[in-house]
Structure 1
Amino acid sequence: MTDRTPHPDQPRRPHPLLSRRSWPEARFLADVLRTETVGGGLLLLGAVVALLWANSPWRTAYAELGHWVPWPGGSGLHLDLSLAAWAADGLLAIFFFVVGLELKREFLAGDLRDPRRAALPVVAAMGGMVLPALCYVAVNAAAGGAGLRGWAIPTATDIAFALAVLAVVSSHLPQGLRAFLLTLAVVDDLFAIIIIAVFYTAEFHPLPLLGALLPIGFFALLVQRRRTWWWALIPLAVVTWALVHASGVHATVAGVLLGFTVPVRPARGGGPGLAERLEHRWRPISAGFAVPVFAFFAAGVSLVGTDLAGVLTDPVVIGVVAGLVLGKTVGVFGSTYLLARFTRAELDGEITWADLFGVALLGGIGFTVSLLIGELAFGAGSPADGKVKVAVLLGSLISAVLASAVLLRRNTVHRRIAERESRDADGDGVPDIYQEDSADSG
């Protein structure tokens, strides 16, 4: 076997970008992607049904369903929300709870605890937010600046839609790319939530937010002691959600905060940590129910009687589409290229820049947070809000089509790579490629 130990005078080779994950991380990622594949299909189904219903002769019934208030007497507790608002603020809190669990596990116990691995998705997420915002500002500033308040609309990547498209068009991308997209979208969403809290919180009430620290503290105390009593944790989570919602901060932040309290490392008895076990339990609920229901209520944009020519030439629409399609791609791809250039790092041997370009195009799929920012910027139900919905759907569709065209061409190559990686000649349950890597590193 060739000795790969570098000579003392030879400069150490930088860590390869998007390199293969460890075997335990690879198995965990495969479980996540299987769940997201099923959930992604349900999400796309919900969105398509909503679009068809909202543009059918029965569109009034769709609008009335979304505006129905289940508990009209709950105004004192800020619970007099419509069904659509419950889907956005309530169900998405489950989604962000899983996001919080996933982020903490990745950065404390996963491969991303290595700063060299964590730097790439963080830098790519930042580039993928700055460039879309600049595209939007450039278009709207040139048109007079009336729509500048929506500068953050194209900055968010929708993790559910992006993973759904990825699952549909290609299931053989290398682990590094698939993990990169997953982590990029999660970090992207968290940055977007920070933007909402700082720039789009119209009314902030600090007392309810301070009050939320109490149930969060009790929740943390129970999970740190490995107490998973559902009859205690769920009421504490609901109280936390209600207090965060009453504070004026978007209620989904409650889910992230609760997820961060869950311990990652396994107890003395061994086995998976509590964060991984809770993520395994709640991810199917998030991917299979919470996100598809939200998509059903949020994607129903009616185009009946709309002047499409006027809408498509509106600066807000052009800015959002340009930000999602052009800004996201250049931001994600360009920041990754610059990171590789300045650190002299190289892509992992199985990955090409064409693969990364396709994933960067997927970053232009924006939905959940983009629509939310549009409502906060221009007001729910306003004419500008309707244009934002059209722009987000159009930009996301263009990004998905372009990404599919690129990734489908790469699918054949990576199918061969996946077949080689899955070979287990000695029948020990561990693919030979991981044993080869271990032997080489030894």
Structure 2
Amino acid sequence: MSLELSRLSLLPALTVIIPPGLCYCHECTGKTIMTRATVVGAGIVGLCTALYLQKSGRQVTLIDPLPPGAGTSSGNAGIISVGSVHPEPMPGIWKEIPEMLLQSQAPVKLRPGYLLPFTPWLMRFLANSSAERSQRSAAAIHALTSRGLDYLLPLARQAAALDLIQQQGSLYVYGRKDQFEKAKRDNAYRERLGANSEIIEGSELNDVEPCLAPGLAGAILNPDAGHTVSPLRLSQALFRLFSQQGGEFIQTRVTHFDRMGNRVTRLEACGYRATDELFITAGAYSKELARLLGSSMLLDTERGYHLLMPQPGISLRRPVLFPPQAFAATMMTEGLRLAGTVEFAGLSAAPDYRRAFDMAVHARRLLPGLEGEGQSPWMGYRPSLPDSLPVISRSPC
């Protein structure tokens, strides 16, 4: 399954649910008290949401069972995917389903035992792979991601964390000519939407990234993308800013919501806490929280892995993505991080860390100077909807 790997990005698909109701801000009510906003989920999306809520004058509480940024946000490939427009359900994707089921270490894997609960998501995914729907999704993704850095950089600047963000673009590399030709055809999505890209033929590839193996077919450069050299440290810097501005953090789980009519009035998180507004930014765990509010969605999880190479013996100028193998290589402050693959197995199945070490096998072929052994295999849960679009809306209930 050849993916654009948008799910590896620093700003992954998010779920924000704002229960409907009356406006309780002081402009509308005449009150002088600040509107109380609660953000459930303290990954990169929750932190950015909380900071922009503070900018709007709200008193913000952030809740997460883990320390801020310590969940899935800490382990991604660090890519800020400006210019990535391709949805995962693309025309012809159905041909790759047998590989997902039959090859034990396929880059995109569906565990057989998870097929039954996964079927509704898969059916909707295939329905969204028509040319018309995929083009519609691409336009929406472009609208959402094209200004990602415009919104992130001011927060990073205020948090004194600009040194953690680099803007060198990202490079999509294809080893075989047929893969490269298909990628160039699919690149028409970017061109139609006005996203910048540059086709790099194989003979020029080593001028762009000298550490790549010779003889690769070619690549597509996405010049507008950025990346962070430490997703965790970036989240921690944003959290310090949030705290300095009077934000409250509670490290616990949310287990219940109280509603008055169609709005949430308080939530249970190690005691009851009143709130005027509620924002759910809990990634793959948003589905259950939304269910507590009476909302349902076909949200599943793409389990992703990473492997750290502390002394890789090579250096990359920018994140290098290998879509046919479904992983990316990004230079981090701790070394080279190989991050990616997709595994559909739900939230409770044990990790299969062979998938992390398989990335190193591919990487040694594609980056022949790579040295050392991989350390600290990791798995996280990317939220995934069958049209590749996030849920950003008020709760219908």
TM tier relative to shorter chain: under 0.3
User: Normalized against structure 2, the TM-score is what?
Assistant: 0.23
Higher helix residue share? 1
Larger radius of gyration: 1
Higher strand residue share? 2
User: Normalized against structure 1, the TM-score is what?
Assistant: 0.21
